[in-house]
């Protein structure tokens, strides 16, 4: 076992120093990034270790792998210094996802089955249950079921499938993240789908055929997306942060087939709702965000596995982008 070394501890933002932050920390060849966080947090007066972001001194890059050995991080060992930043109050990724997905899940139950008479009965607002409001159509009921099941599936995956490399995220980010789901895929989408004048309220032989096609696409996308998430989860041990090269169903076509299959699923919902006003703001926003995530993932895989990884030409949609 190599003798311990002492690292200088500096604030990454000198103008915002962390109170009681130790000026040095001793590490061995078995000390991990998480060990340093816990050491500093304890000595600083009982901080949450996850509030501390550790950065290497040269490129000032965040050390994301909490299980990485400090002794193997050349820039830190050679410079004998580590930078620390207060990332603010933290929430676990599991908690974040559960909160994000719960919004649209409950909204698409409340709007059609509880709030609908109050929201759309404009002719007799003082009689919310007036007979003037037509019942939900098959398409509206189907759309509600599809959206609720989609987010219920996400909640299940959060609890039992996903394995996160980062333990937490800044607590205040949850408001920004939740707005996307609660507003765009929740309130906005629900209001336009379940109204009596919505395209989803029309029932014709054509709409019934679109319902069938949409449901088939939705089921294919959801099942394939779930399969992809299971494949990704197997790349990492429980509680681990290691990365692997994803292979198998869908990965030969694009970098992130889970995003591709999710878009197919939402196209299925679009066919059932037949409402661009309701669906496109969420679909376009989600697609743009997932595309940037996929490109970032492709770059990360190429950098980490330059020889082993088979480069993908397309990040999210084969033949397109």
Q: Which domains does the chain have, with CATH numbers?
A: 5-87 (3.10.20.90), 91-304 (no CATH)
Contact 17, 10 (CB under 8 A): no
For the chain, what is the radius of gyration of the CA atoms? 24
Contact 71, 31 (CB under 8 A): yes
| Whether the model pTM is above 0.85 | yes
Which residues neighbour 223 within 8 Å (Cβ) at sequence distance 6 or greater? none
pLDDT digits (tens, 9 = 90+) for 11-37: 999 888 898 999 999 999 999 999 999
pLDDT band for position 240 (50/70/90)?
Answer: confident
CA-to-CA distance for 7 and 201, rounded, in angstroms?
66
Which residues neighbour 212 within 8 Å (Cβ) at sequence distance 6 or greater? none
pLDDT digits (tens, 9 = 90+) for 192-239: 999 999 999 999 999 999 999 999 999 999 999 999 999 999 998 877
CA-to-CA distance for 181 and 103, rounded, in angstroms?
7
**Distance of CA 271 to CAs 34, 113, 146, 208, 275, Å?**
47, 22, 12, 10, 8
Q: Give helix 138-160 / helix 93-110 axis angle, nearest 10°.
A: 170
Q: How many CA atoms lie within 13 A of 251 on its CB side?
A: 18
CA-to-CA distance for 194 and 192, rounded, in angstroms?
6
| 66: pLDDT strictly greater than 80 | yes
Percentage of residues in the chain with pLDDT exceeding 90? 77
CA-to-CA distance for 18 and 16, rounded, in angstroms?
7
């Amino acid at each position: 076992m190599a003798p311990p070394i002492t690292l200088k501890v500096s604030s990454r933002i000198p103008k915002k120093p962390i109170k009681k932050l130790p000026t040095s920390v001793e590490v061995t060849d078995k000390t991990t990034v998480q060990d340093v966080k816990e050491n500093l947090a304890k000595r600083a007066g009982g901080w949450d270790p996850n509030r501390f972001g550790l950065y290497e001194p040269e490129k000032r890059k965040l050390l994301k792998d909490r299980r990485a050995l400090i002794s193997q991080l050349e820039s830190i060992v050679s410079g004998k210094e580590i930078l620390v930043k207060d990332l603010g109050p933290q929430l676990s990724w599991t908690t974040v996802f559960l909160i994000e997905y719960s919004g649209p899940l409950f909204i698409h139950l409340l709007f059609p089955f509880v709030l609908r008479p109050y929201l759309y009965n404009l002719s007799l607002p003082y009689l919310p249950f007036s007979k003037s409001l037509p019942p939900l159509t098959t398409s509206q009921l189907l759309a509600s079921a599809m959206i609720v099941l989609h987010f219920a599936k996400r909640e299940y995956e959060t609890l039992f499938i996903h394995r996160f490399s980062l333990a937490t995220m800044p607590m205040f980010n949850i408001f920004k993240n939740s707005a996307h789901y609660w507003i765009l895929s929740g309130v906005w989408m629900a209001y336009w789908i379940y109204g009596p004048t919505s395209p989803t309220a029309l029932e014709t032989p054509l709409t019934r055929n679109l319902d069938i096609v949409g449901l088939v696409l939705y089921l294919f996308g959801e099942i394939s997306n779930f399969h992809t998430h299971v494949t990704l989860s197997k790349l990492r041990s429980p509680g681990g942060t290691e990365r692997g090269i994803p292979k198998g169903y869908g990965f030969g076509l694009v970098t992130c087939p889970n995003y591709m299959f999710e878009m197919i699923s939402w196209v299925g919902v679009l066919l059932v709702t037949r409402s661009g006003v309701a669906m496109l703001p969420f679909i376009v926003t989600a697609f743009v965000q997932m595309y940037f995530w996929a490109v970032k993932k492709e770059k990360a895989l190429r950098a980490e596995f330059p020889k082993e990884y088979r480069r993908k030409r397309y990040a999210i949609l084969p033949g397109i982008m």
